[in-house]
Chain A
Amino acid sequence: MRGAQLIAVIASSIVIMLGGIVLVAWHVHAPTFIRVLPSDSAMTYNTALCFIFAGVGLNAVSTHRSSRTLVSGSIPVILGLLTLSEYLFSLDLGIDQALMIDVLDLRSAFPGRMAMATSIGFTLSGFSIMLMSQKKSRTIAFLQQIDLIGLAGTIVVVLGVMTILLFLTDMQVPYGWGKLGRSMAVSSAVGFILLGTGILSWVLTQGQAATMSEIRGLPFLAQAAGITTTLLLWQALLVQEHRDMEATVARTAAHVESEIAARMEARIQALTRLAARVGRSAHPVQEEWVADAEMIVRDFPGFQAISWIDTSLQVQGIAPLAGNEAVLAPIVMTEPTRRALFEKVRETQTLTISRTIDLVQGGRGFVVYVPIVRGGKFAGVIGGGFHAETLFATILHGIAPGYCLVLMGSDEELYRRFPDEPALEAEWVTPTTVEFVGTRWQVRIWPQAATVAAHHSLLPVWALGSGLLATTLISAVIALAQESRRRARVAEVTNRELARENAKRTEAEAEVRILNSELEQRVRERTIALERANADLQQLAYVSAHDLQEPVRMVSTYTQLLARRYQGKLEAEADHFIGYALEGASRIHMLLTDLLAYLQLDQSEAERRDTPCEEILENALGGLQSAITAANACVTHDPLPTVRGDARQLTLVFRNLLENALLFRLSAPPRVHVWAERRDNDWVFAVRDNGIGIEPQYAQQIFLMFERLHSQAEYPGTGMGLTLCQKIIERHGGKIWVESQVGQGATFYFTVPRV
């Protein structure tokens, strides 16, 4: 996947550039490059630094220079984790401004500190990069290393994307994250998107995924993306809800403001009309005035009293009278506030409202003086006294239920409703101004807990729940689809392989059959060839041995002729020389005779005839008569059976064994005994002598071709006799062996199968 590798390299390079530009901008104090848009946050120095390291690390991994990766990946991890712990445990580790003093972001409670989301992003990115440098992949729980990297990369990308989306839709940073002030800068978000993309591209290069179905960990990535998105959306919905509440509070505040203004206007209008009436009449009648005033008091609840004060600060009338007798006392108007107010009204001939004063009737309130103008001249004041508590309770009755209120005059609190929920005040308080008749009051309004709770909807929670559920379902579906595809692929591959194997097997079997038949043919041919070669060799050996006899005979006879004719006539040594030559010739003759006898066995088929062994023994003895007599030997035998075999060959066996018995003798006359006994399916023949015996260790050796245990001078012979016997007996299907001890004679046994 070369393309993926290229993407990783490009992404990492852009990230390095991004960090580099911002870093330089910090050093040369060029704010434009640090905070691109005014509503955005600034990318902190630490963030820029981490981007550079992360980019370098990713670049190194993508170009397979992993030596730098471990170091460059660790810096972001360290800074990210430290910043995160500062947020979570309310620490100040002094790293925020260690490298650069933050003069740009004055809103933040912690200048220079990267946003919480940024620190999370760097922790994940740096961790991934460090893992990417590990050559051997480990498995933690059931996740492989590469799955973890893919997961981290996905979360980083989603962080970046969601930050940009939230920025574009103008949602503030979700409260849970950034209540301490800073949100992730857009440039950082872009950087994280690039970083995450680079990490994911690297992950793709590592796998050998041919199709989407084979990408490892796809369900996990989908789940990570889904969860991150759901969380961010949930937070956004909460923020939205908050904003809604704020708007509602503002509306309520405006409503309250207009209500107060309107009501106050009404009352003051009433006072003004009353003043105007008094001013119109040259001689106002007190009773009329009192009746009017009482009507006003009745119609406009909230008046403590309405008083008519003439130019000499005398209270001409007061309504209602009951409860307000104290106002009639002249000392009232000597009260400095009232006096000042009066003089001000006299001077300006405009109505004026006092600040909060103590009412003579008790309680706090304020008065409104409306000037009476008669004939263009100041003629007194109509005063309206308001008991703040009563007034506002009346005015604000039924207005903004569920809200707490504080009404402030120019310097002092006038009124407060439900004062006991300060916590919500801090979060929700909306100040507004009530203006009327040139007077300004401050209203502070905030909702009660119940109101907030009523406004609160379950939508965010539903969104969270359904988002998580949907994510899980989608991931599960992806996982299942991948699994089924994988299974199908595996099954397909297996099937194909199986079919191939079968075809191969059939082919192989066919081949084997052909080879087998070829082999059999070749074996047959080879056997025939071998048999033919063997026969040829045997023939050759036989013919050679046979043809050698004649020249040997010539050498022998003529040497003897020489000896006979020139004996004594040459030097003494010549006789010796002739003697040795004769000896040599004689030995050759003996060897050839024995060899021929041996070879002849293969030249012709052995006969299978009932052969009486007693006769054979007699024949053999007949040929050895002279030797027997010369050795003074005694040969005895038990009755011998009839066996099936070749008479001539068996005769040779007996003859050889008897010859040996006579030849290998001690000084005592040889005594030889021959017998036979039945054993299982065989006849076991035995020839026992009292000769020199054989060492047991040579018992096998003596049957070998040309093997002798003695020199020619000790005992003459060719070493072929026993070999010949063995071949004959084996051709008859029997075995031949010897049992003997040195100096104690020897017994030769041979078996011949019965029938």
Chain B
Amino acid sequence: MLRLLLVEDNVADARLAIEALRECTVATHVTVVSDGLQALAYLRREGQNAKVALPDLVLLDLNLPKKDGREVLVAIKADEALKHLPVIIFSSSDADQDVLFAYRHGASSYLIKPHALDSYFSLLQECITFWGTRVRLPVR
């Protein structure tokens, strides 16, 4: 069971992602937060998140309210306790500077959300399959 943290402010996109993951062969447990602050609070187990376990993977959208995805990335990778977490950027932006920024600041990969539904599903599923079955993740 792969534990995923999905940081996505668009409810529709979150729903779509969940839909896609449902059809995935790898079993996943998805937590959705809708902004950067919540994401960091969750990861740092602040407040009501005190008893939560760290996720295995973070799917991070870039354009978030309150705290921007880029800042979250930087914050995660700066945090000693969190910097081991693979962060996959899952964004609609194809701007070169965003891609470069992501990789510069430690993102594991950068995925661009496809427009076509099939492509969207297959991309997400392939990604999760890869990280869930092919890649050795650190022990929690």
**A interface residues, Cβ below 8 angstroms from B:** 549-550, 552-554, 556-558, 560-561, 564, 586, 589
Chain B interface residue count, Cβ-Cβ cutoff 8 angstroms: 12
Enumerate the 3 nearest inter-chain pairs by beta-carbon distance, A residue then B residue, closest first.
A560-B117, A557-B117, A554-B12
With a cutoff of 8 Å between Cβ atoms, the chain A residues found around residue B16 in the complex are 557-558, 561
Chain B residues in 8 Å Cβ range of A560: 116-118
Does B19 contact A561, Cβ atoms closer than 8 Å?
A: yes
Question: What residue in chain B is nearest A546 (Cβ atoms)?
Answer: B93
B120 and A557 form a contact (CB under 8 A): yes
A556 to chain B: which residues have CB within 8 Å?
115-117
Q: Which residues of A contact B108 (CB under 8 A)?
A: none
Q: 19 A-B residue contacts at CB 8 Å?
A: A550-B10, A550-B92, A552-B115, A553-B92, A553-B115, A554-B10, A554-B12, A554-B13, A556-B115, A557-B115, A557-B116, A557-B117, A558-B12, A560-B116, A561-B16, A561-B19, A561-B117, A564-B117, A589-B115
Q: Name B64-98 residues within 8 Å CB distance of A.
A: 92
Complex CA gap A556/B113 in Å reads 12
Q: B19 — which chain A residues lie within 8 A by C-beta?
A: 561
Q: Which of B37-63 contact A (CB under 8 A)?
A: none
Cα distance A586–B10 in the bound complex, in angstroms? 20
The A-contacting residues of B in range 98-120, CB under 8 angstroms, are 113, 115-118, 120
Task: Give me 16 other A-B pairs in contact (C-beta within 8 A), A553-B113, A557-B117 excluded.
Answer: A549-B92, A550-B92, A553-B92, A553-B115, A554-B10, A554-B13, A556-B115, A556-B116, A557-B116, A557-B120, A558-B12, A560-B116, A560-B118, A561-B16, A561-B19, A586-B115
**B: which residues have CB within 8 A of A?**
10, 12-13, 16, 19, 92, 113, 115-118, 120
Chain A residues with Cβ below 8 Å from B13 are: 554
Collect the chain B residues with CB atoms within 8 Å of residue A549's CB: 92
Closest residue to A550 on the B side, CB-wise? Answer: B92
- Bound-complex Cα distance A586 to B114 (A): 12
Cβ of B101 to closest chain A Cβ, rounded Å: 16
Chain A residues within an 8 Å CB radius of B115: 552-553, 556-557, 586, 589
Closest to A553 in B: B115
CB distance from A121 to the nearest CB of B (A): 112
Query: What residues of chain B lie closer than 8 Å to A550, measured between beta carbons?
Result: 10, 92
Q: What's the Cα separation between A550 and B113 when bound, in Å?
A: 10
The CB with the most chain B CB atoms within 10 A, among A550, A553, A554, A556, is that of A553
Point out which of B13, B16, B115 has the most chain A C-beta atoms below 10 A from its C-beta: B115
- The docked-state distance in angstroms from the alpha carbon of A549 to that of B113 is 11
CA distance A552 to B118 in the complex (A): 16
Residues of chain B within 8 A (CB-CB) of A558 are 12, 16
Query: Which residues does chain A contribute within 8 Å of B116, judged by CB atoms?
Result: 556-557, 560
Residues in A whose Cβ lies below 8 Å from that of B12: 554, 558
Q: What CA separation (Å) do A558 and B118 show in the bound complex? A: 11
**Chain A positions within 8 Å of B10 at CB level:** 550, 554
Residues of A within 8 A of B120 (CB): 557
Chain A residues contacting B117 (CB-CB under 8 Å) are 556-557, 560-561, 564
Query: A550: shortest Cβ distance to chain B, in Å?
Result: 5
Report the minimal beta-carbon distance from A596 to chain B, rounded to whole angstroms: 9
CB distance from B52 to the nearest CB of A (A): 29
Return the chain B residue nearest A589 by Cβ: B115
**Smallest Cβ distance from A650 to chain B, in angstroms?**
17
Complex Cα distance, B36 from A413, in Å, reads 170
CA distance A586 to B117 in the complex (A): 11
CA distance A577 to B87 in the complex (A): 40
In the complex, which residues of chain B have a beta carbon less than 8 angstroms from the beta carbon of A589? 115
**Residue on B nearest A585 in the bound complex, by CB:** B115
Q: Give the nearest-CB partner of B113 in chain A.
A: A553
Q: Which residue of the partner chain A has the closest CB to B97?
A: A604
Looking at B12, B13, B113, B120, which has the most chain A CB atoms within 10 Å of its CB?
Answer: B12
Q: A589 to B119, alpha carbons, bound, how many Å?
A: 15
Min distance, Cβ B86 to any Cβ of chain A, angstroms? 25
Give the docked Cα–Cα distance between A302 and B118 (Å). Answer: 184
User: Shortest distance in angstroms between B92's beta carbon and chain A's nearest beta carbon?
Assistant: 5
Complex Cα–Cα for A78 and B32 (A)? 127
- Choose among A550, A557, A586, A589 the residue with the greatest number of B CB atoms under 10 Å from its CB: A557
User: Shortest beta-carbon distance, A598 to chain B, in Å?
Assistant: 15
- Distance in Å: Cβ of B7 to nearest Cβ of chain A: 16
Complex: A277 Cα to B115 Cα, angstroms: 192
In the complex, the chain A residue whose C-beta lies closest to that of B13 is A554
> In whole angstroms, how far apart are the Cα atoms of A558 and B19 in the complex?
11
Q: Which residue of B lies closest to A556 (CB)?
A: B115
A552: chain B residues within 8 A (beta carbon): 115
In the assembled complex, how far is the CB of residue A747 from the closest CB belonging to chain B, in whole angstroms? 33
- Closest beta carbon of chain B to A22's beta carbon, Å: 120
- For A586, list chain B residues within 8 Å (CB): 115
- Expressed in whole angstroms, the minimum distance between the Cβ of B40 and any Cβ of chain A is 24
Q: How far is the CA of A346 from the CA of B118 in the complex (A)?
A: 196
Closest chain-A Cβ to B116's Cβ sits at a distance in Å of: 7
| Complexed CA–CA distance, A352 and B117 (Å) | 184
Please report the C-alpha to C-alpha distance between residue A561 and residue B120 in the assembled complex, in whole angstroms: 11
User: Which residue, B92, B117, B118, has most C-beta atoms of chain A within 10 A?
Assistant: B117
Q: What residue of chain B has the Cβ atom nearest to residue A549's Cβ?
A: B92
Shortest Cβ distance from B19 into A: residue? A561
Question: How near does chain B come to A567, taking the closest CB pair, in angstroms?
Answer: 12
Q: In whole angstroms, how far apart are the Cα atoms of A554 and B115 in the complex?
A: 8
Which chain B positions have C-beta within 8 A of A554?
10, 12-13
Q: How far is the CB of B14 from chain A (nearest CB, A)?
A: 11
Please report the C-alpha to C-alpha distance between residue A160 and residue B119 in the assembled complex, in whole angstroms. Answer: 127
A622 to B16, CA, bound (A): 31
